[in-house]
Amino acid sequence: MKRIGDVLSSLSIPVGPAESNGSGKIEPSWRCPVCKDAGWVRMEVPVGHPNFGRLFPCECKVAEQAERGRDHVRRLSNLDGFTQHSFAEFDVVPGAEEAFDAAREVARNPEGWLYLRGGVGVGKTHLAVAAALEIRERTGSVLFAVVPDLLDHLRMTFDPAQGVAYDDRFTAIRGAFLLVLDDLGTENTTPWAREKLYQIFNHRYVERLPTIVTSNQDHRHVDERILSRLLDTHLTRDILIDAEDFRRRGRGDYVKGRRPR
């Protein structure tokens, strides 16, 4: 693969910073020796080959794009606002035991999908966030997003004129090590947004990436294509939390930590 920097150098065009090699001769100093900071390379193939003359991103450019995507995920994921949602602060009431144990298991061993269902105020989001916080401490690449907010974000940031940047962000979102999608089924989707949400689910289903999903909606409010993957018993642990709304238990909150683990 021929370096674009080599081509530019042969034309006597300065393409990078210079430094002395100790003998008085000035030579370029490159951050990336592969592309010589051009960011692109091309394959050394004969004329007529499909890739003749085509430019490909250098490994340094790919790494930069990946890091930008991870940074975008960190900024999009508002987990810092949920620091009180730990397992120690969760009140394990009757009906929430199985979900609590399952979320703890995901936090220790993030594999497969966890689908937490139940009414409002039963602790679905708390358990999902508690697992995400523990995993984030070890991996860093964790995205927590409320589904309607995530789709709004994708719509607002989509710009055909900036397709590459958008694609990088979308790839980072769907490829996060752990993705927590909160309130599935509450989104008011357009066909475009519905397709994007399906693409996220399908990618993670094919790649078997750890995913936690919460919902207080009946199955009829979930896209059938997504539901089919979500209810795959070979991948997903589907748990219904049959507990009382914490707001109806005579308290202002439910993070009392009466049963820390």
Q: Please tell me the predicted confidence (pLDDT) of residue 7.
A: 47
Q: What is the pLDDT of residue 40?
A: 75
Confidence (pLDDT) at 257: 41
Q: What is the pTM of this model?
A: 0.70
Report whether 30 contacts 37 (CB < 8 A).
yes
Tell me what pLDDT residue 181 has. Answer: 96
Q: Torsion over CA of 201, 203, 209 and 213, rounded to 10 degrees?
A: -10
The stretches in the chain having pLDDT less than 70 are 1-28, 45, 63, 65-77, 140, 159-165, 247, 249-261
pLDDT tens-place string over residues 93-141: 999 999 999 999 999 999 999 999 999 999 999 999 999 999 988 876 7
In the chain, which segments carry CATH 3.40.50.300? 68-248
Q: What is the CATH number of domain 68-248?
A: 3.40.50.300
